[in-house]
Amino acid sequence: MRLRYVKGSKELIASHEGIVHNPKELCGRWHEFFGNTYPIRLEIGMGKGKFLSSLAMQNPDVNYIGIEKYEAVILRALEKKEELGLTNLALMCEYASDLKEIFAEGEIDMIYLNFSDPWPKDRHAKRRLTSDTYLDMYKVILKKGGILQFKTDNTGLFDFSVERATACGWDITALTKDLHSSEFVNGNVCTEYEEKFVSEGKKICFMQAQYPCK
């Protein structure tokens, strides 16, 4: 993502009450945090938050958590959350690494990865959000039968992700390299990146995977 410097965003995010500053303290207590027993869905690398804020508005009986590493970017998501008064959307400004410190086993119902950084160089493959290390973490924090959903315009990253998910024992339950001409487009909510790529005529790859035995 091309990052514009947004003056004061670091300070604003660091002290804003609309951001979760102590996510590790909430490990195993996220339902308590939301004050209900609704399912909890997570987007890693949420960007400016269009996708999650639309879902949170559509589905008041689902809780959403967005993780984004850049203050200047999550600030936009925070503005949407506040404008729309979304109490079922939690935001954290973190670099997602050890998610098992933030979420207890089986605490998450679904994970979304949308237009994740491709890290095209082989020596950076471990940083991809669909590398084995991440996939193994997702297995732990997802509940039994939980879903990992992935969208990207990058076919290299997509092929890598399908290959690694299969090798790591996930069942691929949905797969297309042209989401917008496929049956899976029903109910699809576009992200910021997706809207841009679709308007440029690019095809969107889409995968859903489920880890069969926990």
Footprint of ligand SAH (CB under 6 A):
1, 44-47, 67-70, 73, 95-96, 114-117, 191-194
Contacts 24+ apart (CB under 8 A), 52-59: 52/77, 52/89, 52/112, 53/77, 53/80, 53/81, 53/84, 53/86, 53/89, 54/189, 55/189, 56/81, 56/84, 56/86, 56/88, 56/89, 57/84, 57/86, 58/189, 59/88
Nearer to ligand SAH, 23 or 146 (CB): 23
- Closest separation in Å from C-beta 96 to ligand SAH: 4
CB-nearest residue to ligand SAH: 45
Is 171 part of the annotated catalytic residue set?
A: no
Q: Quick one: 2 or 7, whose CB is closer to ligand SAH?
A: 2
User: What is the sign, positive or negative, of the torsion defined by CA atoms of 77, 80, 81, 83?
Assistant: positive
Of 61, 98, 109, 117, which one is the catalytic site residue? 117
- Nearest distance from residue 73's CB to ligand SAH, in Å? 5
Residue closer to ligand SAH (CB basis): 63 or 191: 191
Annotated catalytic residues are 117
